Structure 1
Amino acid sequence: MKKQKLPLLFLALPGIILIFLFGYLPLFGLVIAFKNVDYSKGIWASDWVGLKNFEFFFKSNDALRVTRNTLVMNALFIVFTLIVSVSVAIMLYYVGRRMLRVTQTVLFLPYLISWVVASYALEAFIDARYGVVNQFLNFLGLKNINFYYLPKWWYLIIVICYIWKSAGYYSILYYTRLLSVDPSLYEAAEIDGASTWQKIRYITLYMLRPLIIMLCLIQIGNIFYSDFGMYYFLTKDNGMLYSVTDVIDTYIFRALKTVNDPGMGAAVGLFQSLMGFILVLASNAVAKKIDEEGAIF
């Protein structure tokens, strides 16, 4: 039995090493959150300051704003990405099999594009003078919209950009799950006179439910984290948009550039991790009551 498991162990070994190097070893750096780092003394010899590093963030006037933006944006990402990706996966399953390879490539390609490139593509659409959107508005006889100076548009813009980049990846995961569904279930439903919508509702969505719950739990665990590159490059770090697009990660980045204190960054990182851990535990408990198969543990 042990000899049979040995090849599986070697197969998992690279992943185990990566998790150990980049997941567990950095945990020793958590002490930075409680120290006044002095580079001449080193991390371990630096003075302990207790919770002083946490005061930088929690006593800041902007803490509530950036936390709200982070949570609201991530909640919108989870909800709308779920709706779009599941819908696309179902369409692929029912109508898109003939051009499956091309469709999968088109859907997955945005996931591989960096936010730097995406920011230039976005600018081509919403530039105040030459953007596609404003050119169309001019064609209709309407005034130009300077999107980079109007925060009210950026919830919509950021959510659309995130869906464009991520929905294809998640839709392929859901589509792969649908391929494992026994076709006889659909055949039996069709014999019983079930409509397409009824088959989607009672078979397709039911079979996707464990995967949906699991992926949502993973996303909820990261709800206090943001994709720094997305916010930084899409908005060009424009101060006019901070009321909507300034999140915890971008705020700390700017603060560290000014203060240059790694202890403050480590403190906020620890706060994000703890809150994410608590949310995962709570969400997993709820998920167990809904569907035990979808729970992570």
Structure 2
Amino acid sequence: MIIKKRNSFLRELMKNRYSYILVLPAVLYVFIFSYASYPYLLVAFQHFDYQKGILNSDWVGFQNFAFFFKSSDALLVTMNTLKLNFLFLFFGTLVAVAIAILFNEIRQKLFIKMAQSMMIFPSFISWIIVSYLMYALFATNFGIINQLITFFGGEGISWYSKPSVWPWILVLMKIWKEAGFGSIIYLATITGIDQSLYESADIDGATRWQKIRRITIPLITPTIMILTLLNLGKIFYSDFGMLYAIIGDNGVLYPTTDVIDTYVFRALRQVGDPSNAAAIGLFQSIVGFTLVFLVNWITRKFYKDGALY
């Protein structure tokens, strides 16, 4: 029986060898950077010494976790992390779904192709490039926005010294860069809806808005819920590349933009202790893991179709 199963597995590999070769880089990436890194979680409970290695470094228990939780900025960066991620998740999902519905309603194919290309293009621009574009927009002396304000008789604003506006600026930039790419999944879900439902609605005299509200949105809701659940697992992780590229070391903006990732990075850069960073990373992972299970349990209780399992 074992030999038969082994032979069938080998036949499957040979039959679809090109498909397995195609997926091999992704499998190796996940294995190396996700599963093979599990032993390094021990660093979170050690005073890690590069010369001694993981097995011989001194154990310190939960002292590395105290580094973060006893910090005066712990509450601030935690609340900023949650606030920004909730804003990104809510408005990003809302705009992505709206874009998908709009593309589905447009009948001019040439316009759809051009519009989709323009919407997806920002996803391939690095955050470093985006940060320079933003500086060209928001610079105090020569920024385009301030030039427009002064042109119409207003007074220029020192954007890089106003913490209160930056959460919303970051949300807008996040949507501009990623909502178009994110809409692809929802558009694929919409195109998979049985067209006979729309035909029946046409016979009943339903308007476009009524078809969207009664057919499209209810049928893509399970997809929205599942993607939301997956994103909740990263609610304690921020887009470090975006925040560090745009905000950098501008301490004036820290009250509203400093998150756990940037805080730990600065601490690691200043102190040079990887154990502290590992402890906070483990804390973020545990919270995200717990949130996914908790929200999935609530979803399964009230809306089974939107649950992961």
> Which range is displaced more, 78-87 or 260-269?
78-87
RMSD: 1.7
Q: Whole-Å Cα distance in 1 between the matches of residues 280 and 286 of structure 2?
A: 10
SS of 2:284's equivalent?
A: helix
- 2:129 maps to which residue? 117
Runs of 5+ unmatched residues, structure 1 = none
Q: Which of the residues 44, 52, 70 maps onto 1:59?
A: 70
8 Å CA contact 2:146, 2:156 repeated in 1: yes
- 1:93 maps to which residue? 104
Q: Which of the residues 248, 252, 260 maps onto 1:248?
A: 260
1:195 aligns with 2:207: yes
8 Å CA contact 1:154, 1:244 repeated in 2: yes
The C-alpha deviation readout for 1:91-116, integer Å capped at 9, x for no partner, is 00001542222222111111111100
Q: Whole-Å Cα distance in 2 between the matches of residues 129 and 96 of structure 1?
A: 45
- Superposition map of 1:199-214 within 5 A: 199-214=211-226
1:46 aligns with 2:57: yes
Per the TM alignment, residue 44 of structure 1 is displaced from its structure 2 partner at its CA by 1.3
1:163 aligns with 2:181: no
> Which range is displaced more, 118-127 or 280-289?
280-289
Q: Whole-Å Cα distance in 1 between the matches of residues 240 and 107 of structure 2?
A: 34
8 Å CA contact 2:45, 2:275 repeated in 1: yes
The C-alpha deviation readout for 1:37-59, integer Å capped at 9, x for no partner, is 11221121001000000010000
The C-alpha deviation readout for 1:24-72, integer Å capped at 9, x for no partner, is 1111110000000112211210010000000100000000000000000
Q: Which of the residues 215, 223, 231 maps onto 2:227?
A: 215
Per the TM alignment, residue 292 of structure 1 is displaced from its structure 2 partner at its CA by 2.9
Q: Whole-Å Cα distance in 2 between the matches of residues 201 and 281 of structure 1?
A: 30
- Output the amino acid matched with 1:95: I
Q: Whole-Å Cα distance in 1 between the matches of residues 261 and 185 of structure 2?
A: 28
Q: Whole-Å Cα distance in 1 between the matches of residues 107 and 234 of structure 2?
A: 32
- 2:251 maps to which residue? 239
The C-alpha deviation readout for 1:98-147, integer Å capped at 9, x for no partner, is 22222221111111111000001111111101111101110111111010
8 Å CA contact 2:106, 2:112 repeated in 1: no
Q: Whole-Å Cα distance in 1 between the matches of residues 212 and 153 of structure 2?
A: 44
> Which range is displaced more, 8-17 or 231-240?
8-17
> Which range is displaced more, 244-253 or 187-196?
187-196
Runs of at least 4 residues off by over 6 Å: none
8 Å CA contact 1:231, 1:237 repeated in 2: no
- 1:69 maps to which residue? 80
Runs of 5+ unmatched residues, structure 2 = none
Per the TM alignment, residue 19 of structure 1 is displaced from its structure 2 partner at its CA by 1.9
- 1:270 maps to which residue? 282
TM-score (norm 1): 0.95
The C-alpha deviation readout for 1:226-251, integer Å capped at 9, x for no partner, is 11111111123200000001000000
> Which range is displaced more, 185-194 or 274-283?
185-194
The C-alpha deviation readout for 1:158-181, integer Å capped at 9, x for no partner, is 110111111111112111111111
**CA, structure 1 residues 213+44, in 2 after alignment: closer, same or farther (shift >3 Å)?**
same
Q: Which of the residues 147, 168, 171 maps onto 1:135?
A: 147
- 2:26 maps to which residue? 15
SS of 2:36's equivalent?
A: helix
Per the TM alignment, residue 14 of structure 1 is displaced from its structure 2 partner at its CA by 4.2
1:35 aligns with 2:46: yes
> Which range is displaced more, 281-290 or 68-77?
281-290
Number of residue equivalences: 297
Q: Which of the residues 289, 292, 295 maps onto 2:304?
A: 292
The C-alpha deviation readout for 1:175-208, integer Å capped at 9, x for no partner, is 1111111111111011112222221111101121
Q: Whole-Å Cα distance in 1 between the matches of residues 170 and 267 of structure 2?
A: 23
> Which range is displaced more, 247-256 or 87-96?
87-96
**CA, structure 1 residues 116+293, in 2 after alignment: closer, same or farther (shift >3 Å)?**
same
- Output the amino acid matched with 2:38: L
Q: Whole-Å Cα distance in 2 between the matches of residues 117 and 87 of structure 1?
A: 27
Identity %: 45
- Output the amino acid matched with 1:128: T
Q: Whole-Å Cα distance in 1 between the matches of residues 190 and 62 of structure 2?
A: 49
Per the TM alignment, residue 16 of structure 1 is displaced from its structure 2 partner at its CA by 3.1
The C-alpha deviation readout for 1:260-296, integer Å capped at 9, x for no partner, is 0000000000000000000000111122234433322
